[in-house]
Amino acid sequence: MEKRVIMDSKRRGRLTVSALLGSALVLTGCSSADADGLAAASSKKSQGQVDEAAAKAASDARIIISPKSGATNAGINNDAKVTVSKGTLTKITMTTGDGKSWAPNGQLERATVYKISASVKDAKGREAHESSSFTTVSPDNSFIGNFTPEDGSTVGVGMPVSINFNKAITDRKAVQAGITVSSSSGQEVVGHWFNSQRLDFRPDDYWQEGSTVTLKLNLDGVEGADGVFGVQQKTVSFTIGRNQVSTVDASAKTMTVTQDGKTIKTIPISAGSSENPTYNGRMVISEKFKETRMNGATVGFTDDDGKGEYDIKDVPHAMRLSTSGTFIHGNYWGADSIFGSVNTSHGCVGLNDVKGAGDPKQPAAWFYDNSIVGDVVVVNNSKDKTIQPDNGLNGWNLSWADWKAGSAV
């Protein structure tokens, strides 16, 4: 059954979404009574008299429907719109191609035919009618950006806004222009493209604690590649928590945890061995797991039989520092004596812990409980190179000048 939106003459109604596509199609209409009168007049009067009578009977109201009839790749957020001049909307009906009704109070479906019919009356009560049919953009012809962090979350000072697009973007300038990231602190925020599908945003230095960061995606109808359009229109915000930065000295085998610049704890650690040293550089915690499985085969550490050099199914208090598999985590299989004295891992940073992650007094448990996604872990004095800035959320390893050079706007 069609769902009809009826509006009386005391209220001027229109769809509440704005249009990106559209053209004015102006048609006039008459009631059936008017049509009968004109037909009778035509048999007795000249054509000029008939035209004059028709002009007097025509409604002054004008209707504009967007998108224009026959349009394809229409946006799913803003494109559908009906506006009227010299009249008042009396009825709007919008249906999908399969006859199901749709109320204009939400996002449209992709790859769907929609039909709009509108009726209006002018000041003299004369009616005018208009209709349009259009097809929304298909998944194959549209792109979306998956972003982090989540709306409403509280994160550490190192958390960038990271957007991964599901299709390659060739017009980076147009897409980046449709995205804004701002901070209540007033810090300048700049985007950096790591590749055709990843765009991150950050300020020069870490976010100011207690500030609010807002991401606005205004990508509906933006052409990111030839014939591929954005469909997102969304605003999200997140809060920056306390300023916690933890510095690992791989040579001294210690980690110093600071909040707001003050040391709150020093923890003995065991970093990567000389054969598999830990990356140097500034890294951001991107995920937290009370327990997780770590299999060396997934990150290239295999024996001659192709199986992982290690396969630990219950690594406690694990927090990811890189996409390639660097974690800071609890270690229950190593002797207590290694922490603070020997680097033994395959590249991770290990803290003393117990099997099952059930002892809150363990150093790894304390660090896990006092860390949030977005906190910074800095590794110094390791024999390995500095981590690549796109390996995880680690763009802080680029200078501000190099970061800004990766912006398309």
Question: Per-residue pLDDT for 22 more than 70?
Answer: no
Whether 368 contacts 263, CB under 8 Å: no
Percent helix, strand and coil across the chain, each rounded to 5? 15, 40, 50
pLDDT digits (tens, 9 = 90+) for 56-81: 666 777 767 677 676 677 776 766 66
pLDDT digits (tens, 9 = 90+) for 240-259: 999 999 999 999 999 999 99
pLDDT-derived band at 121 (thresholds 50, 70, 90) equals confident
Cα–Cα distance, 123 to 306 (Å, whole number): 82
Q: What are phi and psi of 259, to 5 degrees?
A: -130, 125
pLDDT digits (tens, 9 = 90+) for 355-398: 999 999 999 999 999 999 999 999 999 999 999 999 999 999 99
Cross-strand bridge partners of residue 245: 258, 376
Q: Which tokens belong to 133?
A: 């049919």
DSSP code for 172: H
Q: Of 219, 241, 52, give the one whose Cα is nearest residue 145.
A: 219
**What pLDDT does residue 7 have?**
37
Q: Which tokens belong to 395?
A: 């763009």
Mean pLDDT of the chain: 83
Confidence (pTM): 0.72
Cross-strand bridge partners of residue 63: 84
Cα–Cα distance, 319 to 269 (Å, whole number): 15
Q: Across residues 115-120, what is the average pLDDT?
A: 80
